[in-house]
């Protein structure tokens, strides 16, 4: 069955971005969040994003209005019964995700595909709590979603070829470049990226260089658009720590041990841009 209606669960930065690109591709989108304030903030965020595209001449005002018209904010999870595809973009917690997927399995029609935007958790484990493991798949978008072209498409152990093909084609319809990845901790993106960020944090922890120096070396010497510590602040240091812990637990290899300084910053509430302070200090009014 063709995918026409998508429910996106979680109206945060990732979820609102996914809702935007889905609606821009012509899909009808149900944007759900359990918190009404988060739902409002998500709509505001994607409206501003579309507005910037209009200002830059990349989008006509009429197109912006049309895209917004295809996005329906909804506080009721049972609206998932109307969706052909559900994309989950909630907190990176196996407990929260499996609880949600059990509920979705009961609510959704038999043909509905359940996708998770997890950045590192095992798809097979999430799929196992449902009665439709062949219809569960990873769809890992990059942040910011409207800008970044990559989507990692992650097969679980039971994910069917048909479902993989549908999600690959849908990603292309959304203007993304899908890359097939198998179900291993961190997939490809975070298995490569996070150890680099963790090592950059170690260089600060061991007094090798200041954060500004580390980032300057990587930007000017390696042609990275953003230094690893600046990027860590952008992602969220709590998210970085969570992914490193998943890698460390999943592989049992000491090379994935999170830097003690990363743990210290997270315990102190220095999570990066979202709290106004991480390796750098940010103006909360921006």
- Domain locations in the chain as residue ranges: 5-182, 189-275
Q: Does residue 152 have an active-site annotation?
A: yes
Q: What is the pTM of this model?
A: 0.92
Query: Tokens 């709509």 — which residue?
Result: 43
pLDDT confidence of 286, banded at 50, 70, 90? very low
Choose, from 117, 120, 152, 242, the residue flagged as catalytic.
152
Binding residues for NAD(+): 10-15, 33, 92, 97, 119, 143, 274
Of 90, 105, 87, residue with least CA distance to 5? 87
Task: Tell whether domain 189-275 is in CATH 1.10.1040.10.
Answer: yes
* pLDDT given at position 275: 95
Common-topology check for domains 5-182 and 189-275: no
Cα(237)–Cα(69) distance, integer angstroms: 35
**Which position among 16, 117, 120, 190 bears the catalytic label?**
190
**Binding site residue list for CoA:** 49, 56, 119
Catalytic residue, candidates 16, 25, 140, 230? 140
Per-residue pLDDT, 283 = 84
Q: Kindly report the CA angle at 236 between 228 and 239, in degrees rounded to 5?
A: 105
CATH fold of the domain at 5-182? Rossmann fold (3.40.50)
At residue 27 the predicted structure's pLDDT band, cuts being 50, 70 and 90, is very high
Tokens of 29: 């989108």
The predicted pLDDT at position 224 comes to: 96
Triad 64, 66, 72: Cα angle to 5°: 105
Q: Would you state the pLDDT for residue 132?
A: 98
Q: What angle do CA 105, 109, 111 make, to 5 degrees?
A: 100
pLDDT in tens, 34-81: 999 999 999 999 999 999 999 999 999 999 999 999 999 999 999 999
Query: What is the Cβ-side half-sphere exposure of residue 265, based on CA atoms within 13 angstroms?
Result: 31
- Is residue 190 flagged as an active site residue? yes
- Start-to-end CA span in the chain (Å): 44
């Amino acid at each position: 069955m063709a995918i026409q209606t998508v429910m996106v669960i979680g109206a945060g930065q990732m979820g609102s971005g996914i809702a935007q690109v889905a609606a821009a591709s012509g899909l009808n989108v149900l944007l759900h969040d359990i918190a009404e304030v988060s739902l409002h903030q998500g709509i505001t965020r994607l409206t501003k994003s579309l507005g910037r595209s209009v200002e830059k001449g990349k989008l006509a005002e009429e197109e912006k209005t049309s895209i917004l018209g295809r996005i329906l904010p909804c506080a009721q999870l049972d609206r998932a019964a109307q969706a052909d595809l559900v994309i989950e973009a909630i907190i990176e917690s196996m407990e929260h995700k499996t609880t949600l997927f059990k509920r979705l399995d009961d609510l959704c029609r038999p043909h509905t595909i359940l996708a998770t935007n997890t950045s590192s958790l095992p798809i097979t484990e999430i799929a196992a709590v449902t009665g439709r493991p062949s219809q569960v798949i990873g769809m890992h978008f990059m942040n910011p979603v409207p800008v970044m072209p990559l989507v990692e498409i992650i097969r679980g152990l039971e994910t069917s070829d048909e479902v993989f093909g549908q999600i690959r084609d849908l990603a292309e319809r959304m203007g993304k470049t899908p890359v097939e990845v198998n179900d291993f901790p961190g997939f490809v993106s975070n298995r490569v990226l996070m150890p680099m960020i963790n090592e950059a944090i170690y260089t600060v922890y061991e007094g090798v260089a200041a954060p500004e120096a580390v980032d300057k070396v990587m930007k000017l010497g390696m042609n990275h658009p953003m230094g690893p510590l600046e990027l860590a602040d952008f992602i969220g240091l709590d998210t970085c720590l969570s992914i490193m812990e998943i890698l460390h637990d999943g592989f049992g290899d000491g090379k994935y041990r999170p830097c003690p300084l990363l743990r210290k910053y997270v315990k102190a509430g220095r999570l990066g841009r979202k709290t106004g302070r991480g390796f750098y200090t940010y103006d909360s009014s921006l």
